[in-house]
């Protein structure tokens, strides 16, 4: 695992793994005491001792990444090289596992506090981890049947769509990563979706697929006005876009604008024609893309929200 901790620190004196290792070493070498000295690259030092110290000590240097370390055997004049090698190997594994647990805890803490929904799929396409926002989406999928609109196709459950996208990455049909797209829900809300591959081991097949989902806010008015001017969209059609971005369906838009549902559909058809789109899904996608485009008037502040 790549390092994400800036500094490594020595374990506390009561670390159970180190205590067990020292007890094992004392039993193998018949020493009266075993003392382990460690110093981290940051300058922190720590000593771990078991048994009764005696005047005679045998000091053996150890090979430990990111630390200088040595072990002192009390009451003996020599120890088997094999026992030292076992001690050194076990100590390296203890420190590796400790660092792995620290990094896993740090990563999970960061992912658990982000507002994005994060899903980790394993190589078989099964969900291995879901942070709290993703877990809430999974619960909503079960309770509310969250569905994603699809151009020219029937809508489908959101997680079925996500799983099909993950499957395409796993079997190599999609290689340009990260894969960024938008998911337009049946209620007209929009989720930004980013999919990337994460290596979780040393083997070529030891991969996971990370999926990030983030709700897109409504477009600032300045972005919306710029988009509408560029595409020749009328004030009434702009109102339709604003209601669409707020998640309203056809019936609700008709009620809000005091027009018929048929008229709303006519407005939507004209919007599709002017923007070169064929569905709400495509229209919402280019609206989401428009939000990321730079504005020509750098002095303007997009502080109004539709």
**Banded model confidence at residue 295, pLDDT cuts 50, 70, 90:** very low
Pairwise CA distance, residues 193 & 213, whole Å = 5
pLDDT tens-place string over residues 102-160? 888 888 888 888 888 999 999 889 999 999 999 988 888 877 677 887 655 577 888 98
pLDDT score at 306? 24
Is the predicted pLDDT of residue 258 greater than 80, yes or no? yes
Pairwise CA distance, residues 298 & 295, whole Å = 6
Q: What is the mean pLDDT of residues 222-243?
A: 84
According to DSSP H, which parts of the chain are helical? 16-29, 81-113, 132-144, 158-170, 221-231, 235-245, 250-257, 261-275, 280-291
pLDDT score at 292? 45
Q: What is the mean pLDDT of residues 29-47?
A: 92
pLDDT score at 257? 92
Average pLDDT, the chain: 83
Predicted TM-score (pTM) of this structure: 0.58
Is the predicted pLDDT of residue 300 greater than 50, yes or no? no
Pairwise CA distance, residues 202 & 261, whole Å = 57
pLDDT tens-place string over residues 284-294? 777 766 654 44
Pairwise CA distance, residues 40 & 12, whole Å = 13
Pairwise CA distance, residues 151 & 141, whole Å = 21
Q: What is the mean pLDDT of residues 265-281?
A: 90
Is the predicted pLDDT of residue 302 greater than 50, yes or no? no
Q: What is the mean pLDDT of residues 236-260?
A: 86
Is the predicted pLDDT of residue 90 greater than 60, yes or no? yes
pLDDT score at 110? 84
Q: Which domains are assigned to the chain?
A: 16-111 (no CATH), 116-215 (3.30.450.20), 221-291 (1.10.10.10)
**Banded model confidence at residue 201, pLDDT cuts 50, 70, 90:** low
Pairwise CA distance, residues 262 & 238, whole Å = 17
């Amino acid at each position: 695992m790549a390092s994400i901790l800036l500094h490594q620190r020595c374990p506390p004196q009561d670390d159970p793994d180190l205590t067990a290792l020292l007890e094992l070493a004392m039993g193998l070498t018949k020493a009266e005491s075993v003392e382990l000295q460690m110093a981290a690259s940051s300058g922190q030092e720590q000593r771990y001792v078991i048994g009764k110290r005696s005047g005679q000590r045998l000091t053996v240097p150890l090979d430990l990444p990111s630390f200088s370390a040595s072990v002192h055997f009390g009451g003996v004049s020599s120890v088997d090289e094999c026992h030292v090698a076992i001690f050194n190997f076990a100590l390296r594994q203890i420190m590796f596992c400790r660092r792995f647990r620290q990094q896993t805890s740090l990563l999970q803490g960061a992912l658990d506090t982000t507002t994005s929904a994060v899903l980790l799929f394993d190589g078989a396409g099964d969900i291995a981890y879901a942070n709290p926002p993703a877990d809430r989406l999974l619960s909503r999928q079960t309770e509310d049947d969250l569905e994603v609109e699809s151009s020219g196709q029937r809508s489908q459950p959101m997680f079925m769509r996500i799983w099909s996208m993950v499957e395409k990455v796993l079997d190599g049909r999609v290689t340009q990563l990260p894969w960024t797209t938008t998911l337009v829900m049946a209620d007209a809300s929009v989720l930004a979706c980013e999919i990337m591959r994460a290596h979780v081991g040393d083997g070529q097949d030891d991969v996971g697929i990370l999926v990030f989902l983030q709700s897109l806010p409504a477009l600032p008015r300045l972005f919306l006005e710029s988009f509408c001017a560029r595409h020749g969209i009328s004030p009434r059609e702009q109102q339709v876009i604003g209601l669409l971005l707020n998640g309203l369906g056809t019936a609700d838009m008709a009620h809000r604008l005091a027009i018929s549902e048929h008229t709303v559909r006519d407005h939507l058809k004209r919007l599709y024609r002017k923007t070169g789109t064929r569905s709400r899904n495509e229209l919402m996608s280019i609206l989401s893309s428009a939000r990321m485009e730079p504005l020509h008037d750098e002095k303007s502040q997009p502080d109004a929200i539709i």
